[in-house]
Amino acid sequence: MIIKEQVKALWKICFEDSEEFVDMYFRLRYKTEVNVAIQSGDEVISALQMLPYPMTFCGETVQTSYISGACTHPDFRSKGVMRELLSQSFARMLRNGVHFSTLIPAEPWLFDYYKHMGYASVFQYSVKEITLPEFIPSKEINVDVVSELQNETYSYLNKKLSERPCCIQHTLEDFQVIMADLPISGGNVFVAKRANEIRGIAIIYRGESRIIINELLAEDKDAEHSLLHAIKQHTGCNRMTQLLPSDEKLPQHSLGMARIINAKEVLQIYASAYPEDEMQLEVSDKQLSVNNGYYYLSKGKCRYSNERMPGTHISMNISELTERILKKLNPYMSLMLN
């Protein structure tokens, strides 16, 4: 049995996804070059996929690697297999020029497990409950439900997401996967246009008792109201839950984690963006020893040394450093098929 089929069989043992979703994932998402696996004899006992996602960070776009489908066969759990698999993945990410690794833990207890592997819980989201009043939407705006991948829809989504300062971005290929998943998970894309120009889009999923608006991006209130009205007309629901980037005025929830893969490059980008933030750090990384050492951030530059220089140093492991760098930027991720 080829590796791909073995990984697919292992996925079915470890996760409760529908046959339709698993087939779609292994048709569109799985590629040999993003898969990392550990075998016992000829049998794959643990696997994960490192999915590439760009991310806006400190005025630049950096490469991230999203851990998807991380699983170990029940007979081989609690033996350090996943720890070894992740360590191999981090080394490969470093060689491939990746700045951060990201993931969404499948279970609450996994937040602690991944913290020991250098991740920090930095991706949060806020929730806004919407009850739609009766209103008449703008006559100038038409809203369509779109089921086919359209380049103009993707271009609009991409433009709006890239305006967010610290946010996971979606490639055209990835948007194709999002579109393929929508009918499987009971979702829809709504596109609002005025004079044939896109003014807003909304991507929704059906929750158990309500509609979840995963993304609503619009140029103005007219477009936003027209989209909400169309969702109500299409679903028969006037109560919806909208997921948003973290907002102090709204309830906040933890979603995903990040881990610095290349500390030297990340800290240089950060230092350039925050020249006033001066630090002397002693960094330790159990999985990627190349990150171990002393970092001096001053006047927009980051200097690295194997040896300690005079002065007081703040000792941080890679998880603490990731939190220190990213948390204040309010990183956001959406449409991750989680």
Same domain for 166 and 218, yes or no, is yes
Structure tokens at 88: 């191999």
Residues 204 and 277 in one domain: no
- Out of 222, 237, 252, a domain closes at 237
Q: One-letter amino acid identity for 36?
A: V
Residue in 163, 142, 160 with CA at minimum distance from that of residue 223: 142
Q: Tell me if residue 276 falls in helix, strand or coil.
A: coil
Q: With respect to residue 332, please indicate whether it lies within any of the assigned structural domains.
A: no
329 found inside a domain:
no
Is the residue at 119 inside a domain?
A: no
pLDDT (0 to 100) of residue 305: 96
Dihedral (C-alpha) 158, 25, 326, 122: value to the nearest 10 degrees? Answer: 120
Same domain, 217 and 282: no
pLDDT at 338 over 90: no
**Which residues, other chains included, contact 153 with Cβ-Cβ below 8 Å and sequence gap of 6+?**
146, 189, 191, 198, 201
Phi, psi dihedrals of residue 308, rounded to the nearest 5°: -70, 135
Residue 118 domain flag? no
Give domain status of residue 76, yes or no. Answer: yes
153 and 210 inside one domain: yes
Rounded (5°) CA angle 196-150-129: 80
> Is residue 277 in a domain?
yes
Residue where the block lists tokens 């939407």: 137
Same domain, 86 and 141: no
Say if residue 1's pLDDT is above 70.
no
d(Cα 197, Cα 193) in Å, to the nearest integer? 5
Q: Could you report the per-residue pLDDT of 5-21, keeping only the tens digit for each? A: 999 999 999 999 999 99
CATH code of residue 152: 3.40.630.30
- 177 and 93 fall within a common domain: no
32-36, 102-106, 157-161, 206-210: segment of lowest average pLDDT: 206-210
Q: Are residues 296 and 214 in the same domain?
A: no
Q: In the chain, how many domains are there?
A: 3
Q: Domain range for residue 275?
A: 263-316
Domain check: are 227 and 268 in the same one?
A: no
Q: Pick from 29, 53, 40, 33: which is nearest to 6 by CA?
A: 40
Are both 215 and 138 inside the same structural domain? yes
Q: Are residues 88 and 140 in the same domain?
A: no
Establish if 321 belongs to a structural domain: no
Percent of the chain exceeding pLDDT 90 equals: 92
The sign one gets for the Cα dihedral 73, 50, 155, 138 is: positive
The residues pairing with 216 across neighbouring beta strands, listed in sequence order, are 202
Helices (H), the chain: 3-14, 19-28, 81-95, 110-116, 151-162, 172-181, 221-235, 263-273, 318-326
Q: Are residues 138 and 202 both part of a single domain?
A: yes
289-332 residue pLDDT tens: 999 999 999 999 999 999 998 889 999 999 999 999 999 999 99
Question: Of 197, 222, 237, which residue sits at a domain end?
Answer: 237
In a domain, 248, yes or no: no
138 pLDDT band, cuts 50/70/90, is confident
Q: Which pLDDT tens digit goes with each residue over 218-275?
A: 999 999 999 999 999 999 998 999 999 999 999 999 999 999 999 999 999 999 999 9
94 shares its domain with 172: no
Q: Quick one: pLDDT at residue 282? A: 97
pTM of the model: 0.95
